[in-house]
Amino acid sequence: MTLAEVKEILECAVVTGEDRLDIEVKTGCGCDLMSDVLSFIKPHALLLTGLANRQAVRTAQVADVRAIVFVRGKRPDADTVALAKEKDLPLLVTDLRLYEACGRLYMHGLRGCGANQTTGDPE
Amino acid sequence: MMGNEGFCREFEVYGGDFYNAGRVSTEIKEILRQIGIPASTVRRAAIAAYEAEMNVVMYARHGKVRLELTPDLIRLVVRDEGPGIENIERAMQEGYSTASEEMREMGFGAGMGLPNIQKNSDRFTIRSEVSVGTELDIEIRV
């Protein structure tokens, strides 16, 4: 799934990375705990989180996350945006809650990071 | 500092410096990536380094991360001056944490740090002395 599709499905505003919406994400992970993200997320995933701070960007960078969607309308501060820009990490914001945002993406075929998940199209 | 056949570099980490937390790990990740280590190995080392760095920022006064590289091994030695760990066995259990509210607000302190380091390393040892500090020795095979 491309970021452009994510943007449309979740009715996102793009905070940074407008020129990189052709990036493809392979799986999704919805989580506010960065240690859990580090423990479970697969490479090239999309991270959905309500934690809109520098640690989310650092975590994304360390774990090869392709982009972050901040949920519940949480907007990162200028420092966090600057860090993401420096690292070429697209940031999007949606007003949806985490559960609904993940659910919509899952319905459109973006699978999770669990051991039994595949990244193919939905049946 | 260069060894006979390896590379060694040391980084400073300061307790309470949440603003820069993660900077050292991302720098280490970039070094490993640039020398051509496979992406999945780089990722494991970066995650282990990041959790260790966050532990120094969250709990200690000051710490040093030493990165040692040989052709077949990434070694991270993280040594801090801090409160130390009273019960290492308990600290290694997932979910056990002594984190403050501030740490949890940063998305950390859920008791996953040390187990995450273990999961991403091939060899992991902890030495700690209460009121003195902690030393983590992390090895990842290339």
pLDDT tens digit sequence for B49-58: 999 999 999 9
Task: Write out chain B residues lying below 8 Å of A49, CB-based.
Answer: 107
Whether pTM > 0.95 for this model: the answer is no
Region A36-44 average pLDDT: 92
Q: Are B22 and A54 in contact (CB under 8 A)?
A: yes
Q: Does residue B115 belong to the interface with chain A, where contact is any CB pair within 8 Å? A: yes
Instruction: Give the pLDDT score at B39.
Output: 96
Whole-complex ipTM: 0.87
Which residue ranges make up each domain of chain B? 7-84
Cα(B45)–Cα(B140) distance, rounded to whole angstroms?
7
As given in the structure block, the two tokens for residue B24 are 């050292």
Q: Does residue A98 belong to the interface with chain B, where contact is any CB pair within 8 Å? A: no
Nearest chain B Cα to A56, which residue?
A: B107
In chain B, where does DSSP find H-type helix? 23-34, 39-59, 88-91, 101-105, 113-119
Instruction: Give the pLDDT score at A118.
Output: 52
Domains delineated in chain A:
3-107 (3.40.1390.20)
CATH topology of domain B7-84: Heat Shock Protein 90 (3.30.565)
How far apart are the CA of B11 and the nearest CA of chain A, in angstroms? 17
**In this model, does residue B3 exceed pLDDT 80?**
no
In chain A, where does DSSP find H-type helix? 3-10, 34-40, 54-62, 78-86, 98-107
Cα(B44)–Cα(B40) distance, rounded to whole angstroms?
6
Task: Write out chain A residues lying below 8 Å of B58, CB-based.
Answer: none
* Nearest CB to B22 within list A32, A51, A62: A62
Instruction: Give the pLDDT score at B107.
Output: 86
Helices B23-34 and B39-59: crossing angle, nearest 10°? 160
Instruction: Give the pLDDT score at B130.
Output: 96
Give me the total of CB pairs closer than 8 Å, taking one residue from chain A and one from chain B.
76
Task: Give the residue among B61, B40, B54, B37 at the shortest CA–CA distance from B113.
Answer: B54
- For residue B80, CA distances in Å to A41, A115, B74 come to 28, 35, 20
In the stretch 56-85 of chain B, residues with CB closer than 8 A to chain A read none
Say yes or no for a CB contact (<8 Å) between B22 and A55.
Answer: yes
